[in-house]
Every structure is written in structure tokens, then in C-alpha cells.
Structure 1
Amino acid sequence: MAGKLLSIGECMVELSQAGEGLLRKGFAGDTFNTAWYARACFPADWQIDYFTAVGDDPMSSDMLSMMNAAGIGTSLVIRIPGKTPGLYLITLKDGERTFSYWRDTAAAKKLADDADHLRAAIESADIVYFSGITLGILAPEAVDTLLSEARRAKAMGKMVVFDPNIRPRLWPSKEYMLKTIEDGARASSLALPSFDDEKVHFGDKDEQATVARYKALGVENVVVKNGPDGVTLAFGSEPVIHVPAVKVDKVIDTTSAGDSFNGGFLARLVEGGTPAEAAAHGAAVAARVICHHGALISPDLLPK
């Protein structure tokens, strides 16, 4: 059955080292990464759209052209005169990546300012996807607007998917961060937390504790990702199950591991797969991604 996934968030300009003092330009961002892998994995009759705000500058135009070339719809993207996309620089030292960000005046911070446009975009979708980073870049009143529309979509029976993706540097305080992440979970029907984040910021002792906490917030379906230790699934009233990770010989770059898992997981789920089958497929996609450099790898490299 055909449908539409709407991914909401920020895509940034990515600068990475290209050798000899040169930099390579790309585009990436957590919810866009998931849209990329969703487009690669979803059935062809599903539409994958990205919702954000960009500027009217050449870099924004290049970004939209790249999305369209990848088969990701941009008709709902807001263009704001005088604004530009956010930017980050990857620095490698002894194989470890560090990131420097320039996003204070990024257009994406305005993505929820037009409540009517946001509502129309969400109403057009069957699956709505957003993350803690989406919430973290927005002003408090814009967070309220987005979460109000997410709750409305959930009440309408849409699949509302939330990856907490906790990044403390985006938030003015830990208390506000944790409260807003919980509000994001309450607005969703499927949560995709990463256990490392939940352990550090919420103090969960194990994956079962993470499942219990999200269930208590009213999330019907919970998928806890734990890297090489696999995935813990709690769907509806079904028993909690564990799906192992796919082993790889050598990890090259873990960037986008969770984002790619999410895209592969949702793709198999909409095809009618069981949650366990969807998790296994998501794990296989993530295993391919971490064997290559960069957030976005060619769809030709992914498992079919």
C-alpha cells in the first residue's frame, strides 16, 4: 500500500577533510539521514518528503537539488529570504571525529514558525518522523507548535515516530532538555531511543528500564538501540524481545548508524514485516553504513 513519510528537522552543510588542506562539501543531518535511507529502502510507491526551512542562497539551492536528485520530496520546504543553512566541520585526529558547528542563525530554526503550513504538511503524511535534535534547535514556542501538531497526528491514528537523539549542546539547560524529550515521546506512537543516551541522561540501568520509562510516557511501541549489543523491542502488549546486531569485521565510521537503522526499520515495517524482521533489516542496513565513511552512503551498497 502506497503512502507518504514526512521527516521533519534540519539538514546542514557538511565540510570534511579532503586532503592537502582542502575541504569536501556535503549535506547531512539526523532526520535527513533517515529520510535518505528510507528512500533507499522503502517501496518505490511510497513518497519520502523532507520538511525544513532553508535560505534563498546558492547553498540552500544546492541542498534542495541534492534532495530532489535522491528522490526525496522538497515541495514542503520553507525558503526564508536572507537566511542560510547551518554548517558543521568534521575534524579527524587519530581516526576519531570531532565536530564544530555554526548554526545559530540557521533557517531551520524557523521550520515551525508557520503553524498552518506545518499542519498541512503533517496532515498530508501517513508517517511523521522527528527527533530530539529537531526539538533542540527550535525556540520554546515553536517546540510547542510542533508537539501540538504531533499530538494531533497521533490522535488521528498516524504513525508518529520520535528518535530522542539527545545532544546536550543544543539545549539551554538539562532540565528543559529532559522535559522536552519526554514531551516529544508523549506525542509519538513509536520511539526509537539509543540506550547510551538514555543511560547517561536519564540514568536507565538497562534497556528494560528504558522500555518501561517510555511506555509510562504513553508510547505504544518502543525500540531501544544499543549498538553492537542489538535492539530491544516492546510493541504493544507483546512480550519484550531482543534482536542481535549484525557483526562487522571492521567499523570505519559510526556516523548515521542509528539514523540508517531507523530508515531500514520503518521500511520493513510498512512492507508488513514483524517488528523483529524490521529490526533485523534495520540492523543489516546500519551494519553496511558503518563500514563506509560518511553519513550517507550509496543505496547500491545497502542490503536489498
Structure 2
Amino acid sequence: MSRILTIGEPMALFVAEQEGLLDDAQRFSRFIAGAEVNFSIGMSRLGHQVTYVTQLGLDPFGRNIHKFLRKNKIDTTYVSYEPAFVTGMQWKQKVKSGDPEVFSARKNSAASHMDIKLIKKIKWTDYDHLHLTGIPPALSKSCRELVYQMMKEAKENGLQVSFDPNLRPGLWPDKQEMALVINELASQADIIFPGIDEGRQLTGKTDVLDIAAYYHEAGVPTVVLKLGAEGAFTSCMNGKQFYTEGFPVKEVVDTVGAGDGFAVGVVSGLLEGLELSDSIARGAAIGALAVMSPGDNDGLPNREELIHFMKREPIG
């Protein structure tokens, strides 16, 4: 299987056990959060080798995350500890359906102090693919420089690059700077996965065709716009365009992590030699599975579960 490299900030996640406002929650269950963690776990469960670059606090949460990554067969060679700062944390509301409230405590976290030194020993020719999101460059100036350097190294060494904007406006000084940096990174990727609302924020366009055209003009070969329950719209620079229907779900438990699951499906499919349309369909399937579980990555399937779900067969 392929070897993938990614970078991100994994966080301790506390999910309320009872529905209602986070203000009133008394008991929480602990999970691990982070868009790139979700992506890494999803790829690992499908048999791909993932190396995760990050920096953790030398605290119980950081050590727990490190153990969690190893347990999920994720390579932690480039995971380091920073004793002067703490591991980031999140708290998430329990909801019957839809998007939960999420509160983060990540300012000045260990991960926000990542810099280029973390990747000095990486042998880029060992990898096939780099997956980036818009979260690490939002954490700090040093993180942004690190992500730019990773993009540069990947392109110079022939790696394919996927990019998911994963907009976090609260982490940026302003929306203008956010759009400038995210679009600059997106322009260097081979395939991007903005949600439709993200695409509108980043481009100022409203129609899927116009959003796709904006990124093609910037140099992006393949643009995949996530449309939520409606599926996805894919546009290629060669003129090929198509819609992919979403997979029906029995119950939407938690929407967090669905986009990461979608990226898992598309990237894994392409790395395994599937046609683009089949890879997008796989992404839609994994995204659907992700929303039916309470944790950010609990619903990400192994290969057998994915095959059954895509055939509309019962799992387990």
C-alpha cells in the first residue's frame, strides 16, 4: 500500500454525555480530535501507511494521543514533545442531529510551536502522497512556514498533494488573510476538497461551476466540492465534470469528521488506482459512515466494513 505523510494538531476531545448546552454539561467521554488524525486513522484502517507529523505537550493528554496513534498503526517517527506547552483540547456538545457546538482550548498549544526543524530528517522519496489541511497554517507563523516548506518539498520530490481547506476562522487574524493563505496553498495541490460554503467564502463565487473555474485558473487540476448530504461536484481541468450522490444514512449522530472521511475515501481510492468517479463515491460512503458515530473518527471503516456499506449490506 501507499505511504502518506500528513501534519496536524491532535487534541484531547471531551464529548458531553447528555444533550443540552455545553455550559450545563456535567459528564464527558474522552476521545481524540483533529482533522488530520481522522484522516490518518481512516487511511490506516484501509491498510495504508501514514506518518503523522506533530508536536504534543509533555502531559497526560499528549502521552495518551501518542499511544492512540501507535495503537491505530500510525507512524509516529516525527511526533515530538514540547514540555513548555500543553496539548490542545476540545469540548463538544451532544446533539440529536446536526452540527454540535465545539469549544477549543488550543491557543499557545504545543502544536502551535511547531517549526521547520520537525521535518529536517524526513526522506521525502519514501512517500507517495502528502495530505494537508488549512488548520496547521492557522496556528502560528512558524506553523505556516512549516506547511509551506512541506508543500515545496513534496512538489520537488514528485509526491501527489491533496488539500482540504478545513476553515477555522477563529484561528486567523481576519478572513482576508485566511483566504489569501488557504488559496495560495490550494493552488499548489493536485486535488482539493472545499465544502461548498468554504468555496464561497474563499472565492466570493456562489455557483459550483464558478468556484471550480476559480481554482482551475489558479492551477488546481482537480476540484471536488463537498455538498453535504447531496454528495459532491467534481471538476477537472481537462473539462470533465460530474456530480456524485450522497449515501443515505439511518441517523445523523454527529457531523464532525464527515469531511475528513470523505478525503480518506477519495485519496485512498486514487492511490489504489480507482477511477476518479469511483474514488469520489468511496469518499461519499465513508463520509456517510462518519456521521453515524459520536466520536470524530469512530465511524471510519476498515476495508470489509466499507465494502459492505457500499453494497448497501449490513455491517457486522
Give the match for residue 217 of structure 2: 216
**Does 1:98 find its partner at 2:101?**
yes
- Determine helix, strand or coil for the equivalent of 1:219: coil
Judge conservation of contact 2:203–2:214 (CA < 8 Å) in 1.
no
Give the match for residue 9 of structure 1: 8
What is the alpha-carbon distance in structure 2 between the residues aligned to residue 257 and residue 83 of structure 1?
30
What is the alpha-carbon distance in structure 1 between the residues aligned to residue 239 and residue 278 of structure 2?
15
Note the alpha carbon deviations across 1:65-123, whole angstroms, 9 max, x for none: 011101111111122122221011112467552111111121111223416x2572655
Cα deviation for residue 168 of structure 1 reads 0.8
What is the alpha-carbon distance in structure 2 between the residues aligned to residue 211 and residue 220 of structure 1?
10
What is the alpha-carbon distance in structure 1 between the residues aligned to residue 107 and residue 116 of structure 2?
16
- Determine helix, strand or coil for the equivalent of 2:306: coil
Where does 1:223-302 land on structure 2 (aligned, <5 Å)?
223-298=224-299, 299=301, 302=305
Give the match for residue 166 of structure 1: 167
**Selected match of 1:127 from 126, 129, 132:** 129
Percent identity among equivalent residues? 25
Q: Report the AA paired with residue 171 of structure 1.
A: W
- Determine helix, strand or coil for the equivalent of 2:122: helix
The alignment yields a C-alpha RMSD, in angstroms, of 2.1
What is the alpha-carbon distance in structure 2 between the residues aligned to residue 77 and residue 185 of structure 1?
25
Cα deviation for residue 233 of structure 1 reads 1.5
Change (3 A) 1:222 1:121: farther
Give the match for residue 79 of structure 2: 77
Give the match for residue 207 of structure 1: 208
Give the match for residue 37 of structure 1: 42
Query: Which 10-residue stretch deviates more, 263-272 or 243-252?
Result: 243-252
Note the alpha carbon deviations across 1:177-218, whole angstroms, 9 max, x for none: 110011111221211111121224432212111211111111
Q: Report the AA paired with residue 40 of structure 2.
A: A
Judge conservation of contact 1:233–1:275 (CA < 8 Å) in 2.
no
Q: Report the AA paired with residue 207 of structure 1.
A: V
Change (3 A) 1:263 1:194: same
Query: Which 10-residue stretch deviates more, 64-73 or 230-239?
Result: 230-239
Which blocks of at least 5 consecutive residues in structure 2 are unaligned?
Answer: 19-24, 308-316
What is the alpha-carbon distance in structure 2 between the residues aligned to residue 252 and residue 302 of structure 1?
18
TM-score (norm 2): 0.87
Q: Report the AA paired with residue 50 of structure 1.
A: Y
Where does 1:102-113 land on structure 2 (aligned, <5 Å)?
102-113=105-116
Judge conservation of contact 1:288–1:302 (CA < 8 Å) in 2.
no
Judge conservation of contact 2:270–2:279 (CA < 8 Å) in 1.
yes
What is the alpha-carbon distance in structure 1 between the residues aligned to residue 288 and residue 305 of structure 2?
9
- Determine helix, strand or coil for the equivalent of 2:100: strand
Judge conservation of contact 2:199–2:225 (CA < 8 Å) in 1.
no
Which blocks of at least 5 consecutive residues in structure 1 are unaligned?
Answer: none
Note the alpha carbon deviations across 1:7-39, whole angstroms, 9 max, x for none: 211111101113582221111111111111111
What is the alpha-carbon distance in structure 2 between the residues aligned to residue 65 and residue 259 of structure 1?
21
What is the alpha-carbon distance in structure 1 between the residues aligned to residue 174 and residue 8 of structure 2?
21
Give the match for residue 186 of structure 1: 187
Note the alpha carbon deviations across 1:237-271, whole angstroms, 9 max, x for none: 15111111112233221111100010111111111
- Determine helix, strand or coil for the equivalent of 1:52: strand
Judge conservation of contact 2:190–2:222 (CA < 8 Å) in 1.
yes
What is the alpha-carbon distance in structure 2 between the residues aligned to residue 9 and residue 120 of structure 1?
16
Q: Report the AA paired with residue 215 of structure 1.
A: H
Hey, which bits of structure 1, 4+ residues long, moved more than 4 A?
Answer: 93-96
What is the alpha-carbon distance in structure 1 between the residues aligned to residue 235 and residue 94 of structure 2?
37
What is the alpha-carbon distance in structure 2 between the residues aligned to residue 214 and residue 123 of structure 1?
28
Judge conservation of contact 1:119–1:149 (CA < 8 Å) in 2.
no
Give the match for residue 137 of structure 1: 139
What is the alpha-carbon distance in structure 1 between the residues aligned to residue 207 and residue 305 of structure 2?
30
Judge conservation of contact 2:136–2:143 (CA < 8 Å) in 1.
no
Cα deviation for residue 236 of structure 1 reads 4.3
Give the match for residue 58 of structure 2: 56
Q: Report the AA paired with residue 183 of structure 2.
A: E
- Determine helix, strand or coil for the equivalent of 2:93: strand
Change (3 A) 1:122 1:13: farther
Judge conservation of contact 1:7–1:129 (CA < 8 Å) in 2.
yes
